[in-house]
């Protein structure tokens, strides 16, 4: 364990670990919930509600439970071992290093453009005559860069909490405004599949798409950045994690209610992707007036921008840890190092911030290269089974102290998650237009 001589570390600032969990410590869970639920998740849930009514409500709930198990496992590794997740991956062999290196470069390049475009859409809808969508995207990326570059985790968490509050108020308001049929909603908790072709795969896709990909792996890093560095914080982390996916569940269920009542009952279809939320704002304006539509667009922006700055911070933190571990200094890959804030001031952190912001601008103006999009899709699909299966490996071996290894429930949930994401990965790879790739 590295010696920490800095007297102003985040761990010390947080004070001694509490004897029991407390709501006053909640923080990283809010961050992971805000980052994980992007505009794409809300659209997917809207479309599910619009297509099947309340039938797949149970799938959305299961999706939250699956992600609770994954985030809890990542946080448990960080706290029980004092080591970071990448240090754990590195102990499994060099193949994990190669996978992560390729993934983080390609994924960051394409995701940067997607996040900037998603944040730009509601701003252009709110201020249509100010500037072009692409320039709104550039502005969002640069604002995110400046914010994360000059602020530490504590400020970042506070801003994310405010934006989550906006998201919460908007989604709950819409769910109440459309007057959900509570009887059908309760019936939707029964595991029933829609009567249509590929219903199993579509249902698995909804379960797997509820809130977060690489942000689940980043959760352990945010736990450390909060100042939680050892097993004394385990109960607090678990409460924090449950709050995260309870919050995610509220967002997802609220949007499924909106889809079921506004789209399904009226037989209205919206586009997949972020444009679907712009369409929804038009439907809301026709039915409830301009004020409601603009209120929704503000919530849409909060949803997209939290995902942007969350990735700008969390994945840059992971990349900084990756580089430190790669430089053959294993002692650097500790939770205490993350808690000092050194990672957020390091050159790898800032290099990856720049990588997320400026190279993707090319994609905003020229469109995404076809082959790159396919590679991005394959790597993105492979990451979640990689995360689930490596966590099973790490948390069932001597790498983890015996008292914090997986029990039957944890193994069962992580096994279900691994199988679920493996199926979705195979489907994603199968669906790629490989004949046009070569």
Helix (H) or strand (E) holding 56: none
Give yes or no for a contact between 366 and 334, defined as CB atoms under 8 angstroms apart. no
Strand-pairing partners, residue 334, are: 83
Predicted structure pTM score? 0.91
Exposed / middle / buried, residue 407 (Cβ in 10 Å: 0-12, 13-18, 19+): exposed
Q: How far apart are CA 3 and CA 334, in angstroms?
A: 11
Output the tens digit of pLDDT for each of the chain's 438 residues.
Answer: 333 333 344 444 455 556 565 667 889 999 998 898 888 788 888 888 888 889 989 988 888 888 889 999 999 999 999 999 999 999 999 999 999 999 999 999 999 999 999 999 999 999 988 899 999 999 999 999 999 999 999 999 999 999 999 999 999 999 999 988 889 999 998 988 887 766 777 788 778 766 567 889 999 999 999 999 999 999 999 999 998 888 888 888 999 999 999 888 777 777 776 778 888 899 999 999 999 999 999 999 999 999 999 999 999 999 999 998 887 665 667 888 899 998 999 999 999 999 999 999 999 888 777 778 788 778 888 899 999 999 999 999 999 999 999 999 999 999 999 998 898 888 888 888 877 776
- Backbone φ and ψ of 90, nearest 5°: -60, -30
Question: CA of 353: how far to CAs of 105, 294, 308, in Å?
Answer: 12, 31, 11
Which residue has tokens 């560095």? 229
Neighbours of 217 (CB within 10 A): 26
Residues 6+ apart with CB under 8 A from 261: 49, 178, 179, 180, 181
User: What pLDDT score was predicted for residue 15?
Assistant: 53
Q: What is the DSSP letter of 340?
A: T
Question: CA of 389: how far to CAs of 165, 207, 384, 393, in Å?
Answer: 34, 18, 9, 6
User: What pLDDT score was predicted for residue 194?
Assistant: 82
SS3 label, residue 129:
coil
Q: How far apart are CA 365 and CA 430, in angstroms?
A: 29
Give yes or no for a contact between 81 and 287, defined as CB atoms under 8 angstroms apart. no
Sign of CA dihedral 420, 422, 425, 430: negative
Give yes or no for a contact between 81 and 234, defined as CB atoms under 8 angstroms apart. no
Q: How far apart are CA 9 and CA 330, in angstroms?
A: 20
């Amino acid at each position: 364990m590295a010696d920490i001589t800095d007297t102003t570390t985040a761990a010390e600032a947080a004070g001694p670990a509490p004897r029991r969990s407390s709501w006053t410590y909640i923080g990283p869970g809010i961050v992971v919930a805000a980052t994980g639920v992007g505009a794409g998740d809300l659209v997917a849930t809207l479309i599910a509600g619009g297509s099947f009514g309340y039938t797949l409500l149970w799938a959305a709930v299961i999706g939250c439970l699956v992600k609770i198990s994954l985030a809890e496992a990542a946080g448990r590794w960080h706290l029980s071992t004092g080591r970071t997740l990448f240090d754990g991956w590195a102990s499994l062999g060099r193949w994990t290093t190669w996978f992560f290196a390729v993934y983080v470069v390609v994924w960051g390049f394409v995701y940067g453009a997607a996040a900037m475009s998603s944040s730009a859409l509601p701003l252009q809808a709110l201020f249509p005559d100010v500037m072009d969508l692409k320039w709104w995207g550039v502005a969002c990326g640069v604002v995110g860069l400046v914010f994360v570059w000059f602020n530490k985790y504590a400020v970042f968490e506070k801003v994310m909490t405010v934006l989550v509050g906006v998201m919460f108020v908007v989604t709950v308001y819409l769910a109440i405004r459309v007057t959900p049929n509570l009887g059908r909603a309760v019936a939707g908790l029964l595991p029933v599949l829609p009567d249509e072709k590929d219903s199993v795969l579509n249902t698995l896709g909804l379960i797997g798409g509820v809130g977060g990909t690489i942000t689940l792996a980043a959760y352990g890093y945010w736990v450390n950045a909060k100042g939680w560095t050892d097993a004394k914080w385990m109960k607090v982390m678990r409460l924090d994690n449950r709050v995260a996916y309870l919050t995610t569940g509220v967002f997802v269920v609220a949007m499924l209610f909106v889809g079921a009542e506004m789209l399904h009952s009226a037989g209205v279809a919206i586009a997949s992707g972020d444009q679907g939320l712009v369409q929804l704002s038009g439907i809301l304006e026709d039915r409830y007036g301009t004020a409601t539509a603009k209120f929704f667009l503000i919530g849409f922006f909060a949803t997209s921008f939290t995902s942007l700055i969350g990735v700008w911070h969390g994945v840059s933190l992971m990349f900084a840890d990756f580089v430190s571990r790669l430089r053959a200094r294993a002692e650097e890959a500790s939770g205490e190092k993350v808690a000092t804030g050194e990672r957020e001031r390091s050159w790898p952190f800032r290099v990856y911030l720049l990588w997320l912001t400026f190279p993707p601008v090319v994609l905003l103006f020229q469109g995404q290269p076809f082959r790159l999009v396919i590679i991005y899709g394959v790597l993105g699909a492979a990451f979640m089974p990689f995360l689930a299966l490596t966590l099973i490996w790490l948390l069932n071996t001597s790498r983890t102290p015996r008292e914090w290894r997986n029990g039957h429930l944890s193994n069962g949930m992580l096994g279900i998650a691994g199988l679920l994401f493996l199926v979705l990965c195979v489907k994603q790879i199968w669906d790629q237009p490989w004949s046009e790739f070569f």
